[in-house]
Amino acid sequence: MRRRLAPYLLVLPGGVWLLLFFAVPMVTMLSLSLQQGDIVNGYVFTGHWQTYVDAISAYRTQLVRSLMYGGIATIVLIVVSFPVAYWIAFYGGRRKPTYLLLLLLPFFVSFVLRTISWRYILTDDGFVLGPLKDSGLVGASFHILGTPFAVIAGLVYNFLPFMVLPVYVALERIDPRVVEAARDLYASPATTFRKVIFPLALPGVFAGVLMTFVPASSDYVNSAVLGSSSTTMIGQVIQAQYLTNSDYPTASALSFTLMAVLLIGVFAYARALGTEDVMKVAAR
């Protein structure tokens, strides 16, 4: 009996935690999205699905923009993170922990404070654009803040470790003898990377995409601090509906819509990538 119960007892604390702080709030939010009323007179469950239609129609632009920013940031993160993880995994030697610590060190500072510091760096008269404008290399009207570039750059910076670390772990597990065997078979460095290293690193890439695309698409700090009214993301809309307008049904409907779209995107990505093949590679 003890042996049979042991696995369930080990899972019990995590299961209770998820039930109390994930499942119950999600069910409550789903119920709230189908209610009608106001904050003064209270809300009553009426099964009003029209809230979803109205919310999506009103904020379709912000929803699409959020997915686009999150997708672009994720692609940039893959391009930037893979060389960093590759170098640490294969050339870091005994200093791998030091390099990983240096990579993570800036992220001991608060997420909001790091984003605000980027605002001071990218401001029109900051130490980056200021000297460039004074020397005439860029025009006086040139600016970065308030543009999609600034928001995406902030997303890339803030979520960089979430892509580097999974890719690094996948690369670290690659047996060096496999790479040597490819070279012994006269494979060029490009062919070795394309047919050996990258396929074996796909589990890390897949995990990195999950850990970056979902929070980047729902982020609102970067767009609020580094963006403008033309770069508003759906996270800002949800925050405003909850905390400013007190329109809880609309905010809940938008939250569920965003979650559904992200889940569909993740499942489509997993199916296109072939998770079974990825797991086989990871097992090997």
Identity of the amino acid at 52 = Y
Q: Which residue has the tokens 């939250």?
A: 255
Determine the pLDDT at residue 177.
Answer: 87
pLDDT > 90 in the chain, percent: 46
The angle formed by the CA atoms of residues 107, 202 and 182, to the nearest 5 degrees, is 120
Q: Minimum mean pLDDT among 140-154, 224-238, 256-270: which range? A: 256-270
Q: Which of 61-65, 206-210, 244-248 has the highest mean pLDDT?
A: 61-65
Higher per-residue pLDDT: 135 or 171: 171
Mean pLDDT, residues 212-233: 92
Tokens standing for residue 38: 């106001």
Number of Cβ atoms within 10 Å of the Cβ of 34: 19
Higher per-residue pLDDT: 274 or 201: 201
Full-model pTM: 0.86
Contacts of 25 (CB under 8 A, 6+ apart): none
Quick one: which H or E segment has residue 3?
helix 2-18
Determine the pLDDT at residue 283.
Answer: 45
Quick one: which H or E segment has residue 189?
helix 189-192
Mean pLDDT, residues 68-73: 95
pLDDT > 70 in the chain, percent: 96
On the question of pLDDT at 134 being above 60, the answer is yes
Higher per-residue pLDDT: 7 or 17: 17
Backbone angles phi, psi at 139, to 5 degrees: -70, 160
Mean pLDDT across the chain, nearest whole number?
88
Q: Which fold has domain 51-283?
A: MetI-like fold (1.10.3720)
**Alpha carbon distances (Å) from 56 to 49, 71, 252:** 12, 20, 12
Mean pLDDT, residues 201-205: 88
Does residue 37 sit in helix, strand or coil?
strand
